[in-house]
Structure 1
């Protein structure tokens, strides 16, 4: 049985035919909704979305060849290359149509728990940990990659089946009001807020505004919904008053689920909650143990027992370029090049030092932390101060700082007399990436950390085929993988 039917979708799409499919069947079925003509779209609805870099209207023929049987557009298009069996429907705006379809589908998921995760850092990790715990027990849908915007959230909801027990949705933001709009669409049964810090200040202005924006998810919980909130962010508590069901997690003394101990054992890690229950965890670092507390809270709400939760957490793996540990030509490489903000940078540095005590040399390759607005220089200078302390305690053999914003950190290190262990590069081109990669030696431990726009993975690509495998989709199943990186 098809998941969607034309006669049920038409009132929601509210479009007009440019080409009615022949033969015409008002009950024709579709297996899903997609926006990427490179994917398998057999019996799919394809929405032509116009983005910053590309326009889906240019790929209608490709979508039809990929199997799409209904193309939804927002302007007149050339029909000459399209088979008559493929319908073409014109709507007001394809993005708006995508949201309308997702809203209608969300309301059909009457027995499915929608779990929405937001925060400045830890969103993708928490979502991945949740999937590792829930998937062995229930049928469910999980947002792929960082599908956390006005396209990714609707597509995640549309990917869910009414037979699913859960849907994991990740919700991000760049500007005021985005969380509210996406949460209103998702109508979460469970809302999770991870760590909040200095992220997207360019669009939001201040940490207080970031807290207010993230907390907007709480306004759209379903009746009897649960809020699972990081207790270590005091500003969040001001927004909890209207929420009846709450669980606080973290290291704060008044948390419901408190991280009271953690350690390493048997090639992995463990953490303890409230001085009692101990769980294994496949990802390193204090920050990941805190993320796992939120997972425990959700899993218990879903009816899982401690053994099921423990097994799921012990099997988790890291997302690509999110503190993934890999061995490349004898080099212990920690690839955390997916993204960065001040809090995730500190988490990455602390975890890197914790895991590399036996390295012959520790090398930091750090790129700009972007979208920090007026606080860019100050926050990079503060990072420089932290690097001074790290150089004196760890120690660090070299710090390679890349990008215009990192100049502030480089100045701080230079003024502290550490220029002999510092290299500053204003812009990373291929030549610089190759030179940096060639400077690493067997036995080195190397951390790559920077915002997405810095593309530090180019350095890994210059390290040879084993490096390229990890930045181009190769799976990493190391228990030393982690992820202090999302913003």
Structure 2
């Protein structure tokens, strides 16, 4: 199983020349890395190179819940569709969501309790179910492996710190993943405050300002109580949130001042969600809150 990354149109075609994939799956198409691709259409074109270069007798897994992926034309290759919202070859239902935003799924009558946070984890679980079912993996084994999976560091880890729930989602950030993080916080049921700590979303090119403004609007419309931002691009996030009457939207010039304010504000029962692009090294916030100091 190989993950393919790309920053420009043509990158995936070159890698597929080495890999020659038998099975291909695209989880989503969004503005991530748009600085290198130039346009969202080019992101789609670049990712479709994976399907284009899959062997003729191979299998394509099509996420019908992503409208840009669903546009891939029928090229004669075997297609397995999956969806939570539409009729597809493989589907699952959301059974429940716990107080921390972890999904309980129903896959063909079997309940699966995810340890990973949020709707994005549920989407990824569905993709895994589609591949596993195609490979004739028993449902009992699918359930077992999904329920034992814990995300790697910085990918939505839950840390219990003195009665405070800290979510470390600092590995990276783009408009889609931040929107999913906001949705996750909205679905959580803390006894205290919801505090969202956000660093810049990088590599956004000429879409950066608009993307950061849109995130500010989403946060102001959610149940998040406090927004703490760091980085020059998130100035627009805070400005937009404040224009929508979110008084507790604050921008910090330094990460040190953000951490000091956060430590003063936090109380037992709060949920603190930390996110930002890799270049922002927002794990420094997590390290200080967990008394590890600045380890980045």
SS of 2:272's equivalent in the other structure is strand
Change beyond 3 A, Cα 1:248–1:426 = farther
1: CA distance, partners of 2:133 / 2:92: 16
2: CA distance, partners of 1:434 / 1:252: 40
1:450 to 269, 276, 279: 276
Q: CA deviation at 1:236?
A: 2.5
TM-score (norm 2): 0.90
Q: Which has the higher contact order (CA 8 A, sep 6+)?
A: 2
Whether the 8 Å CA contact 2:117–2:156 is kept in 1: the answer is no
Quote the RMSD (CA, aligned, Å): 2.4
Alignment of 1:199-214 (within 5 A): 199-214=32-47
What do residues 389-423 of structure 1 show as CA deviations (whole Å, max 9, x unaligned)? 11xxx2x331101111111111112223333x121
Q: CA deviation at 1:353?
A: 2.8
TM-score (norm 1): 0.56
2: CA distance, partners of 1:468 / 1:350: 29
1:335 aligns to 2:168 (yes or no):
yes
1: CA distance, partners of 2:293 / 2:25: 34
SS of 2:185's equivalent in the other structure is helix
Q: CA deviation at 1:385?
A: 1.0
1: CA distance, partners of 2:279 / 2:44: 24
Kindly tell me the number of residue pairs found equivalent between the two proteins: 294
Q: CA deviation at 1:298?
A: 1.2
Residue 263 of structure 2 corresponds to 438
Alignment of 1:148-163 (within 5 A): none
Change beyond 3 A, Cα 1:462–1:239 = same
Whether the 8 Å CA contact 1:323–1:335 is kept in 2: the answer is yes
1:410 aligns to 2:235 (yes or no):
no
1:401 aligns to 2:229 (yes or no):
yes
Residue 463 of structure 1 corresponds to 289
2: CA distance, partners of 1:349 / 1:378: 17
1:389 aligns to 2:216 (yes or no):
no
Whether the 8 Å CA contact 1:249–1:290 is kept in 2: the answer is no
1:425 aligns to 2:252 (yes or no):
yes
2: CA distance, partners of 1:321 / 1:228: 27
Gaps of 5+ in 1: 1-167, 473-487
Alignment of 1:241-256 (within 5 A): 241-256=74-89
Residue 201 of structure 2 corresponds to 369
Gaps of 5+ in 2: none
Residue 217 of structure 1 corresponds to 50
